[in-house]
Structure 1
Amino acid sequence: MNPDETQIRQALSGFINVLKPPGMTSAQVVGRVRSLLRGRKVGHAGTLDPEAAGVLPLMVGKAARLFDVLQDKQKAYIAEIAFGAATDTQDAQGTVTETGRAFPDEAALRAALTMFRGDLLQTPPMYSALKRDGRRLCDVARDGGSVALEGRPVTVHALELLGMTNRQGALVSVRCSRGFYVRTLCHDIGQALGCPAHMRFLLRTQSGVFTLDTARTLEELKEEAEREPEGLPLLPMEAAVEHLPWAEVPAALEKPFRNGVPLRLHALRLSETPPEGAAVRMRSGGELCAIGVREGDALRQRTWLAE
C-alpha cells in the first residue's frame, strides 16, 4: 500500500446509510461495505433481522465511538401484521404454534392499537440476541430450553394503522425507543384481539438522523466505489449528532478535558444550557472533538473523538 492510500484510509471516519435488502444479515452487509472500503473498520449502529429491510446505519473508523449515542435515538418502522397464526419466533420465519380465524375488522384493530402507545413493559421474545447467564436466548430456544422473561420498559411514541391488506393482515407504522421488538408488538396485538398473529414483514424507515429517503443500496455503493478511487464519501460524524447541543472547548482546556478533567459550564460557550445527564457535542476550533455529558455544574468527557 502506498503512502497516499494509507492517508486516505486513515481519513475515513463517518457514516454510510445503507438500504439493507431482505435475505441478508446485518453482518453480511457490513462485510460487503468493508470490502468496498478496502478493509477499513466498519460496524452497524443497530442490527436488523435477516428478513427485515430498510435503514442500516454503518459506522466507519472512529464513528464507532458514537455507538452509544446513536442507540439512544428513536427508530421508525412499517410492519405487516399477519392474522391467523402465531409462531415461536413471532415472525414469518418461525414454526406455527397457534392458529385461529377470528380475524379482526378495522375498527377493532384501531381500538386495540391505543393499548400499545406510550410507556409500556414489553416482554422480549425468546428468539432474540439478548443474553441470560452468558447465553443468547435464541440459542437456548433452539436447544429446546426456555427462560422466564420479565417485561422491559419501552416507549411507543407513535403507532398508526396504515391500512388493511387483502391477505388477512394490516400495515402499521411505529416510532419507538431503543430495545423495542416490532415482531413482539405484532404478536401482542393479536393476543389483545383474540386472534393469533405474527409479523409478516418489517421495513425500518428511520434510525436517528438516518432516513429511508437518503439510504443507498449495496449496488449503488458498489458503483460509486468503482467511480471514486479515493473511496466512498461518508456522512461526517458531527452530522449524526447535530441534534445535540454544543459547547466550544477553549484551546487551553482541550488537553485537560481529554485527560478526564471536567469543564465548568461557566467557562464554556454553549448553544444552550443542557439538562442534567444530557449528551453534548464538544467542539474545538469549530470541529467535533468529543461527546460530553452534564454532571452538576460541569461537562465530563464521555467519548473522545479527535486524534
Structure 2
Amino acid sequence: MARRGKKKGRPVSGWLVFDKPVGMGSTEAVSKIKWLFKADKAGHAGTLDPLASGMLPIALGEATKTVPYVMDGAKIYRFTIAWGEARSTDDLEGHVTATSDRRPSEADIRALLPDYTGLIMQVPPQFSAVKIAGERAYDIAREGEIVDIPAREVEIGRLDLLDCPDENSAVFEIECGKGTYVRSLARDMGRDLGCHGHIAVLRRVEVDPFVADDLVTLEALEAAAAEARPQGEPGEDGRIVDTRPDKERFAALDALVVDTGAALDCLPEVAVSDDAAQRIRLGNPVIIRGRDAPVEASEAYATARGRLVAIGAVEAGMFKPKRVFTGR
C-alpha cells in the first residue's frame, strides 16, 4: 500500500508581528501561530527569551526567505535592572550567585552609559544559544560546567536611563544591533557599578522595519482564529466539514499579516512589468528601465504591481534574480 503523503498547510505568506507574552518560548510561539494559520511553513526572526515579552516577528510561507533581513535590523528593548544580585542566567530565572549591599546613584549610572554605547565587546550569557565546539552554551551550563565564551563585538546605537523608581532598580531603553544580549548588559553594568545586577523585566519594543502598531496579541490572534473554526452540521462520522473557501474562512487571520516585502525596506526596489516578472520567476535576468532605477546594487528586490517578485542584484542596469517568489 502506498504511503499517504503528509498533509501540507495553507500557502499563506507574510509577517505576523507577534506580541509574545512572558512565559512563552520563541519556538512555542512559532508552532502556535503556524497551527492557528494552518500555514505550510513558519519561522521567527530572532529568539526572544521566555521571560521576555514583546515583538517577535514570525515569517509565514515565502516570507521565511526574507528572515535574514529582519534578523539584521536594529532592535529596541525596554528593560529593568535589579541591583544587588548576580544570577546564573543574568535574569530572574537563574539562582543567585553573588550579592551586594551597595546601590548605585543615578549619577553613577548616567556616568557609565557612554561606556556601553557604540561598538563594544560583550561576552554572551552562560545560558545562551551561542555554540561552543558544536554545543549550545546553555546545554553545557545546565550540566554545571562553566562555559568559556569569547567576547564579540556588538553595536549599541543608544542606551537611555528612563527611570530610577527606587534604589534597587533602574529602567532603561536600548537600541542595538544583531547579537546584543541585554542580559549581558545588566551583568556587566552591575559589575562596573560594584553592586551586581540582573534583568528583572525585559520587553522588545521594535524590530526594524516593524513598529509597535504592527503588534498582534495572542488574544487578537485567538479571536480571529475562532472565525476559522469549522462551521456547519456534523456528518455521520461526527466531523464538521467546512465548505467555505479558505480565503473566506481565514480572512480575519490573514488580515493581521504584514506583506512579505515589508522586510526588504532596507533594499532598493525595482519595479518591473508583468512580462519581466514572469521571466524573473523563471530565473532569467531582465533589463530594468526608469529614471530612478539603480544601475548597480549588490542587493535589490523586484516588484510587479506592488507584489514581490524576487530578491537579486543589479549589474550594469540588469536585474539578476537570486531568490524568487511565487506571489501567492
Q: TM-score, normalised by structure 2?
A: 0.82
2:70 alignment counterpart: 70
Q: Which of 242, 245, 248 lines up with 2:271 in the alignment?
A: 248
- Residues of 2 paired with 1:185 and 1:132: CA distance? 21
Q: Which runs of 5+ in 2 are unaligned?
A: 1-6, 229-248
Aligned to 2:250: 230
Render the CA deviation track for 1:63-100: whole Å, top value 9, x for unaligned. 11111111111010001011101112111111111111
**Unaligned segments of structure 1, at least 5 residues:** 1-5
**In angstroms, what is the RMSD of aligned CA positions?**
2.7
Find out whether 1:94 has 2:94 as its counterpart: yes
Q: 1:270 to 1:54 in 2, by over 3 A?
A: farther
1:146 and 2:146 correspond = yes
- Bigger Rg over Cα: 2
**1:284 aligned to which of 304, 311, 315:** 304
Q: Equivalent residue for 2:50?
A: 50
CA distance in 1, matches of 2:160, 2:48: 21
Q: What SS does the corresponding residue of 1:303 show, helix, strand or coil?
A: strand
Against the structure 1 CA distance between its residues 39 and 90, is the aligned structure 2 distance closer, same or farther, given a 3 Å change threshold?
A: same
State the alpha-carbon separation in 2 of the partners of residues 33 and 118 from structure 1.
Answer: 36
Look up the equivalent residue of 1:204 and give its one-letter code. R
- Counterpart of 2:267, as a letter, is L
Q: Which amino acid aligns with 2:110?
A: R
Report the Cα distance in structure 2 between the residues aligned to 1:32 and 1:288, rounded to whole angstroms. Answer: 27
Counterpart Cα distance in 1 of 2:45 and 2:111: 34
Structure 1 residues 300 and 168, CA, compared in 2 at 3 Å: closer, same or farther?
farther
Report sequence identity in percent.
Answer: 34
1:128–1:286 CA distance, 2 compared to 1 (3 A)? same
Counterpart Cα distance in 1 of 2:115 and 2:44: 32
Matches within 5 A, 1:158-237: 158-166=158-166, 168-227=168-227, 229-231=249-251, 232-233=253-254, 234-237=257-260
Alignment-derived partner of residue 3 in structure 1: none
Aligned counterparts of 2:126 and 2:315: Cα–Cα separation in 1? 37
Q: 1:153 Cα deviation (Å)?
A: 1.6
Aligned residues: 298
> Quick check: 1:137 aligned with 2:137?
yes
User: Are the aligned partners of 1:186 and 1:197 in contact in 2 as well (CA < 8 Å)?
Assistant: yes
Aligned AA for 2:84? G
Residues 220 and 257 from structure 1, CA distance in 2 versus in 1: closer, same or farther, beyond 3 angstroms?
Answer: closer
TM-score (norm 1): 0.87
> How far apart are the structure 1 equivalents of 2:141 and 2:88?
9
Distance (whole Å) between structure 1 residues aligned to residue 76 and residue 205 of structure 2: 5
Instruction: Give the deviation of 1:41 after TM superposition.
Output: 2.1
Q: Is the 8 A contact 2:283 2:321 kept in 1?
A: yes
